[in-house]
Amino acid sequence: MPRLGEAPAGDRSGVVDLTDPLTHLRPDLADYWRRLRATEPVHWHPGQDGAQGFWVLSTHRHALAVYRDTARFTSQRGNILLTLLNGYDSAAGRMLAVTDPPRHGRIRALMAPSLSREAVSRLAQRLRERTRALLAERVGAGAFDFAADIASRVPIWTICDLLGVPESDHDMLLSWIKRALSSEGSGRPESDGLASRQEILLYFLEYVARQRDCPGSDLVGTLVRARIDGTPLTDEQVVANCYSLLLGGDETSRLSMIGAIHTFTERPELWREFRSGTVDLGTAVEEIIRWHVPAMHFGRVALTDVELGGRQIRSGDVVTLWNVSANQDEERFPEPERIRLGRRPNPHLSFGYGPHFCIGAQLARLELAVVLDEVRLAAHGIEPAGRPSPIYSNFLRGFSTLPVDLSRGGSA
């Protein structure tokens, strides 16, 4: 067995640097994941440029095991490479995603009613009306950017409604979100993303301060009024969870929508199948989320020595769970390399699993279902109108632009 920080003898996968955003644009990366799943499902990734190394889990069963195991793996030292390799997350213990049980469960219980299936379903009609209005201006009007004109607007509107953010601030928040976790150009410095994250935090600090005097009926107001063990949440705790919901909710829905439409431009037979209505909408949405997993990985830090897949993980080691590979696991998904809109069952890990299962999953599903349903009702054909622009990230996956032409036609 290799020492910590070394690649196994003869392992060609060591040349792949998963910390480099450009790596995730490589056309041969699917082959890399397939090889890891088959030969080394628990793989040691050497450190790059002086940074520490980390474990890479590529199979569904190993990722699932770690997602479930909150006793031996912690989220409070970060949950994505950006924070894990820095050794800490400044929101640890305050933000839901980077808080361990039992406090995690108490914060989740405060937020869950506002994001339950029932609560989210009440947003459906307004969401549908907004989407229909956006499409009415663009279907049959020639080429437009689906990413900017549709997918970038719908999720942020809905999340801001939940948080009570005024509509006049939506575009400003969206511009910050886009730069916070990814880049639309390979040359953009990390400082740009850091500045955007700070802008979001400062915005919500001011917003929460205003709510202290007169809490609203929105989710921010709920958190402002909340108590855990008799103690109110601090402004920083409320802000951290607003930040998490804003970024997580927007990116998941937005990138899945863009990915779905891109797939339909490349695979006309899938568009015809989807538009025909012969496939259940909810089932199709799950397959789209499996295929276009927006968050490529999540991570944990081992709290004790653990043996996993025949490898010895040591206390303090960073362990990354690659959903993008687990969702293609041949042992879990028949024909994983094929998009099957009627796939059932579909135990994808795009929303994680276990106690940290994405609290906004119902909202993301609703947004994707409504937008795709309205597209198939409004448009007869989908044609590419230019090359899409990929985002540059070692965490998020998808496109920042998607030029398309949606033609009118009879109702599906």
Return the closest-CA partner of residue 407 out of 275, 257, 267: 275
Look up tokens 């025909």; give the residue: 276
The whole-angstrom separation of Cα 24 and Cα 97 is 24
Q: What is the pLDDT along the chain (412 residues), one digit of tens a residue?
A: 333 334 433 344 447 999 999 999 999 999 999 999 999 999 999 998 888 999 999 999 999 999 999 999 999 999 999 899 998 888 899 999 999 999 999 999 999 999 998 988 888 999 999 999 999 999 999 999 999 999 989 998 899 888 988 888 888 888 887 777 555 555 555 567 778 888 988 999 999 999 998 888 889 999 999 999 999 999 999 999 998 888 777 888 999 999 999 999 999 999 999 999 999 999 999 999 999 999 999 999 999 999 999 999 999 999 999 999 999 999 999 999 999 999 999 999 999 999 999 999 999 999 999 999 999 999 999 999 999 999 999 999 999 999 999 998 654 4
From residue 216, how far is each of 157, 162, 208, 383 by CA, in Å? 18, 11, 10, 44
The length of the chain in residues reads 412
Give the separation between CA 156 and CA 67, rounded to whole angstroms. Answer: 28
> Is the Cβ–Cβ distance between 358 and 348 less than 8 Å?
no
Domain 12-407 has what CATH class? mainly alpha
373: nearest Cα among 281, 307, 236: 281
**162: part of which helix (H) or strand (E)?**
helix 154-163
> What's the pTM value of the predicted model, to 2 decimals?
0.89
Q: What is the dihedral of CA 94, 99, 105, 107, to 10 degrees?
A: 10
Q: Which two tokens stand for residue 346?
A: 């579909």
Q: How many helices (H) and strands (E) does the chain have?
A: 16, 14
Domain segments of the chain: what residues?
12-407
